Structure 1
Amino acid sequence: MSETRLTDLPLYLRRLGFDTPPAPTLATLRQLQQRHTAEFTFENLATITGAPVLIDLASVEQKILHAGRGGYCYELNHLFFALLQTLGFDVRGISARVVMNQPEGSWTARTHRLTLVTLDDVRYITDVGFGGMVPTAPLMLDCEATQTTPHEPFRIEQQADGYMLRAKVAGEWRAMYLFDLQRQEDIDYTVGNWYVSTHPESPFANRLMVARTGEGWRKTLNNGSFALHRMGAESERRELTDVDELIALLTEEFGLRVPVQPQLRGVLAQIIRPA
């Protein structure tokens, strides 16, 4: 993988609550992952308009750190990978096949970026770009026991073809994604990103998906359906039917600086009021 270099590390760290670079420890990794999923929103406003999604580090940094936007796995996990690498963590970029909401045993394309971190000879996966079910803590790889996070419990099952990540949702262990440890290069992510952002059958090209976490809650937006999920409580839901209301929600609930574009307004109107 080509060398990555952040251009504004102090700003990035301040956004995550650090005045100086923290040591590359497990405690630091836990703090970084929890804070990252709370500070930087998962969103795909670009792909629903057909705009290109640039995933080189400079473009990602500009969009997320300076333009008030979020992103999806190829952006968020690239930025986080660069941060971990800069701080001195032993990291490897890997990829996964998302099987969430698919029939058990489904075999999907490699369309999700995540990171393998090795600390004191112990391997973990870390992921800040998995939307409404993003793990909010690093997960030990070589452990099939239930692992707690600030949100749902997760577990990793070793399988013949790699590993399966599951989360316990509503009392049920649901499959999230299947992954292995094959090193991924920039070109692998470029191919995956091209499919995710442009293929007619990609959900990212056809559906608005926004998510953010916080202390004891998750917020999600699926087209015009907004939900606030509180851990251990009933979810609060509402439907949005007005574009201005939707843009206000993206700003107020998800902290996004929404681009003022007539094309985006038209797409949002179509999403919440389909023909």
Structure 2
Amino acid sequence: MLAEKAVNQGVAPVTYGQGDRPPRGDYASARADYTCDQNWSAYTPEEHALYRRLYERQAAQMRGLACDEFISAVQHLGTPERIPRFDELSQTLYKRTGWEVVAVPGLIPEEAFFALLAARRFPVTGWLRKPEEFDYIVEPDVFHDLFGHVPLLFDPVFADYMQAYGAGGLKASRLDACELLARLYWYTVEFGLIRTPQGVRAYGAGILSSAGELRYSVQSPEPSRVGFDLQRIMRTRYKIDSYQATYFVIDSFQQLFDATAPDFTPIYRAVRELPEIEAGAVLPGESLIAAE
């Protein structure tokens, strides 16, 4: 929601307040915290049908590529025959992990995004792409946000990681370190891979909501797959106009949560003293994780 989304995910690189045109969405209806009403009754039968097509395309690819936690949790979104009601979904989600889903007009500023995560409120874009945007869309829509992000909020450890990330973001904005923290979000929440007994699997929302990158990220020999390293991630640039050249692989969601526990202030300081790493670069002595 705060970081650029990649073209290959069906979402072109756009950041709130930037670009050739204003972001799509009714920002006049937003409250001070950028949340708004979902207005579920305004969705048309055609939009519900389009959501179902998007859902079914991705669901058909999950086995052997997505992590088991995601596959188990995606059912909580309810029937794919209609766009979920956020209030109903929030009731189920809150009982599991204390999170709720809130509607937003679209991309929102960093501070507002961090504040919502820190309060265990996940912002989901209210509108759905047009039929002609089935494979390509400029901003993240309700399908990307719901299908890609929300299922793992049912996992207690990942849910705690997201809250910790939001709290860390509020601090990063005061330390002028949002770019470094955005790289962590990009390489975990959006494009993260996880090691499992069955092999590497995807858990990042940008991968899981992509028609093409899901298989590429797990099976292609082309990208570099590197073990999770916080400073390495914060130093590494990322691709916004193609499939990722580098993926970072965690051993567990607990590892991810534990990485957010320390005070990042000295980490930001250390990272700024080191050179940036280009996407796809392999460092001397660095071992890579093989494709499936």
Higher helix share: 2
**TM-score normalised by the chain length of structure 1:** 0.27
Decide which structure has greater strand share.
1
